């Protein structure tokens, strides 16, 4: 069996305590929620922290609440809870579906919403053992200087692989981030940004979180109520696999014509891609097969899968329009 490295394990009981633990040694600490991604990465020596801070005891981040502002989802909800929650399923079935398509039942029992959002990017040259990466000559995401996907590339293109993120972006969700206090004894500060702006195009660290910061909540604003949404995931098997391609869509129609549409495609590069030109392509146009095809054709032009995700990248490119059409049919079944 692969060994775990030696590290200190702490299990705070509150958010404040958790942030304080991190502040003590910000460069050498690692958050861990469900551990379904972090533990294999530790075994592969992709993370080499001195301290691992388990969030399992922070019960205050474990809830589903609704108010006038919208639906509030605690970051430590498990993916299973999210996929089975009656209110989530009623209001945002595409989000429940995305959560239900992560990995396997065992992993959904452990994995969390916040963890899936912050999932480390993936690459066939990166998610490997230390021995394998040594034989490769390492890569610029970890221990090395070269990219094996884009040989002259200076920026890591490891793939964003979260299932929940594309749906959250399509739904216009916001993420709440806790920042540790500037000095000991101070109060943590909270900020909110759109999930759309949470990700950055750098596979080494593909989100805006600074060391010590923590995702505490996802908010689907009241304005998103009633959106028609869908999620489609391309993967080799009926379980376990990370997406080879994922597509989320959310929008509204009136009298059979789009009034609003957002489509998010992922597993392409370090951040999810929000399709452009949809205002021109969709809004005011009929939500029918012909228009779905036109949108799909635009998606094909905008999305360029890379070789660092399993299966032939040209085939995955061809699957972009197929899956865009499928997700549109799911979200707008009446066409």
Residues interacting with another protein, by CB under 8 A?
1-3, 5-6, 104, 124, 127-129, 131-132, 134-137, 146-148, 151, 234, 236-241, 310-312, 314-315, 318-319, 322
Rg of the chain over all Cα atoms, to the nearest angstrom: 20
Q: Return the number of the residue (279 or 312) whose C-beta is nearest another protein.
A: 312
Rounded to whole angstroms, the Cα distance separating 255 from 205 reads 43
Q: Return the number of the residue (144 or 181) whose C-beta is nearest another protein.
A: 144
DSSP 28: G
Q: Return the number of the residue (47 or 285) whose C-beta is nearest another protein.
A: 47
Please give the structure tokens belonging to residue 31. 């958050």
Q: Return the number of the residue (289 or 314) whose C-beta is nearest another protein.
A: 314
DSSP 137: T
Nearest approach, Cβ of residue 314 and another protein (Å): 8
The number of angstroms, rounded, from the C-alpha of 105 to the middle of its chain's C-alpha atoms is 18
Nearest approach, Cβ of residue 72 and another protein (Å): 33
Nearest approach, Cβ of residue 178 and another protein (Å): 32
The dihedral of CA 117, 119, 120, 124: what is its sign?
Answer: negative
**247 pairs with which residues across the strands?**
232, 265
Nearest approach, Cβ of residue 322 and another protein (Å): 5
- 77-to-61, 292, 326 alpha-carbon distances in Å: 7, 34, 29
Q: Return the number of the residue (103 or 261) whose C-beta is nearest another protein.
A: 103
Q: Which secondary structure element, helix H or strand E, spans residue 295, and what is its range?
A: helix 289-302
Nearest approach, Cβ of residue 143 and another protein (Å): 12
Nearest approach, Cβ of residue 243 and another protein (Å): 13
Nearest approach, Cβ of residue 27 and another protein (Å): 22
Q: Return the number of the residue (151 or 185) whose C-beta is nearest another protein.
A: 151
String of DSSP letters for 143-179: B-S--SSSTT-SS--PBP--SHHHHHHHTT-EEEEEE
Q: Return the number of the residue (56 or 297) whose C-beta is nearest another protein.
A: 297
Decide: 263 and 282 in contact? Cβ < 8 Å: no
Please give the structure tokens belonging to residue 230. 């869908």
């Amino acid at each position: 069996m692969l060994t775990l490295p030696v590290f200190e394990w702490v299990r705070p009981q509150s958010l404040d305590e958790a942030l304080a633990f991190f502040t003590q040694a910000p460069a050498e600490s690692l958050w861990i929620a469900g551990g379904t991604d972090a533990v294999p990465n530790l075994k592969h020596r992709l993370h080499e922290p001195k301290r691992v801070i388990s969030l399992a005891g922070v019960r205050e981040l474990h809830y589903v609440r609704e108010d006038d502002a919208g639906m509030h989802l605690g970051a430590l909800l498990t993916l299973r809870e999210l996929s089975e929650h009656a209110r989530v399923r009623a209001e945002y079935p595409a989000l429940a579906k995305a959560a239900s398509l992560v990995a396997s039942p065992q992993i959904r029992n452990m994995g969390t919403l916040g963890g899936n959002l912050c999932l480390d990017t993936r690459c066939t040259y990166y998610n490997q053992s230390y021995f394998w990466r040594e034989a490769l000559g390492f890569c610029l995401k970890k221990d090395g200087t070269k990219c094996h996907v884009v040989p002259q590339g200076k920026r890591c293109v490891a793939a964003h692989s979260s299932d929940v993120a594309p749906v959250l972006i399509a739904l216009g969700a916001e993420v709440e981030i806790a920042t540790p206090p500037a000095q000991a004894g101070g109060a943590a500060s909270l900020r909110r940004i759109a999930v759309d702006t949470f990700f950055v195009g750098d596979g080494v660290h593909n989100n805006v979180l600074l060391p010590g910061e923590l995702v505490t909540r996802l908010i689907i604003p009241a304005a998103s109520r009633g959106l028609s949404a869908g999620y489609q995931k391309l993967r080799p098997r009926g379980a376990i696999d990370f997406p080879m391609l994922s597509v989320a869509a959310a929008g509204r129609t009136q009298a059979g014509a789009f009034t609003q549409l957002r489509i998010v495609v992922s597993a392409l590069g370090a951040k999810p891609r929000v399709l452009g030109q949809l205002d021109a392509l969709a809004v005011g146009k009929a939500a029918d097969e012909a228009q779905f095809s036109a949108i799909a054709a635009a998606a094909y032009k905008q999305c360029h899968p890379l070789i660092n995700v399993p299966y032939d990248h040209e085939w995955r490119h061809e699957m972009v329009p197929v899956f865009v059409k499928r997700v549109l049919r799911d979200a707008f079944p009446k066409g």
